[in-house]
Amino acid sequence: MNNGAVLPLMVVPSVIGIMLGSFVGVKVLAVTKPAIIRIIVIVVLGVAGLKALLKGLGIG
């Protein structure tokens, strides 16, 4: 399609999102207790894993 070329239209929004997410994440981590972050990460990974499992089984 593009012979391996990087499409700026796809890359720029991704980089902006990554940068904004990292800045927000640093601010949140500075004021939040580690136990709360651990619980949030476990829940997010659990939901993502469950969705992937359901999709793989053809249920969702």
pTM to 2 decimal places? 0.62
**Is residue 5 predicted with pLDDT exceeding 90?**
no
* pLDDT score recorded for residue 2: 66
The token pair that represents 22 in the structure block: 């990292």
Question: String of b and e for 14-31 (b: at least 16 CB within 10 Å)?
Answer: eeeeeeeeeeeeeeeeee
**Is residue 59 predicted with pLDDT exceeding 70?**
yes
Say how far apart CA 33 and CA 55 lie, in whole Å.
Answer: 34
Domain map of the chain by residue range? Answer: 8-57
Per-residue model confidence as pLDDT tens digits over 11-49: 999 999 999 999 999 999 899 999 999 999 999 999 999
The token pair that represents 41 in the structure block: 């990460």
**Residue owning tokens 């939040």:** 32
